[in-house]
Chain A
Amino acid sequence: DADVTQTPRNRITKTGKRIMLECSQTKGHDRMYWYRQDPGLGLRLIYYSFDVKDINKGEISDGYSVSRQAQAKFSLSLESAIPNQTALYFCATRSSGGKTEAFFGQGTRLTVV
């Protein structure tokens, strides 16, 4: 089945370290998103991309960067991780035409100590 895959699923890292979360999809969608989930705050948009040349900041982009290496791959980086970036991170994809459902990856639980 076509899917959205995130790696790693869990990660513990130290303050100040650089870390990359990866997302790949086999759905053939052109739109990809990174969200952060914190208890009581829902899903907040970090960055989104419409194709490899089109990257846009979301609501909470400070402290994060992204790279769209190919239509199927969208990576999220924390250049210098800090404890308040401890959260559950989700990648999502969506088609630009026709059906508008967004599909989520399994999530990456990141802990910064």
Chain B
Amino acid sequence: GENVEQHPSTLSVQEGDSAVIKCTYSDSASNYFPWYKQELGKRPQLIIDIRSNVGEKKDQRIAVTLNKTAKHFSLHITETQPEDSAVYFCAVWMDSSYKLIFGSGTRLLVRP
């Protein structure tokens, strides 16, 4: 069955430092890997995504890397700012089952 593991569950960094969140998945048929950010009391919103035919994607301070062979992908946030503090979820889309399965989330705290 599908399984997505996300680590760490909490991450505290100093403002300006980098943050890395990692996810692993089980289904090799997975082909779409989005990352969502959820601020306190709000709905999850997409911040970046990557498809299985791409190894890395960047958008300003945010980047995602994908290793299909190892079945893991990571979110990288550089030059962190206090407004980056939120819960981040990785997710995996599987064409075989049409499900969007989420990781358990990472609570990121950026200390001023």
* Residue of A whose beta carbon sits closest to that of B43: A104
Q: Which of A40, A42, A107 contacts B102 (CB 8 A)?
A: A42
Contact (Cβ within 8 A) B100 A102: yes
Q: Which of B19-45 contact A (CB under 8 A)?
A: 32, 34, 42-45
Does the CB pair B99–A90 fall under 8 Å?
no
B6 within 8 A of A: yes
**Which residues of the other chain, A, contact B46 by a CB distance below 8 angstroms?**
101-102
In the assembly, what is the distance between CA of A91 and CA of B43, in Å?
10
CA distance A108 to B98 in the complex (A): 24
Cβ–Cβ < 8 Å partners of B93 in chain A: 100
Picked from A41, A45, A106, A107, the residue with its CB within 8 Å of the CB of B100 is A45
Whether the pair B34, A102 counts as a contact (CB closer than 8 A) is yes
A42 in contact with B105 given A102-B34, A104-B44, A104-B45 (CB within 8 Å): yes
**Max chain A C-beta neighbours (<10 A), residue from B43, B89, B101:** B43
In addition to A33-B100, A101-B34, A104-B44, 14 A-B residue pairs with Cβ atoms within 8 Å of each other are A31-B98, A41-B104, A42-B103, A43-B44, A45-B100, A45-B101, A90-B43, A94-B100, A100-B32, A100-B93, A102-B100, A104-B43, A104-B45, A106-B43
5 shortest interchain CB distances as A-B pairs? A42-B104, A43-B102, A104-B43, A42-B105, A42-B102
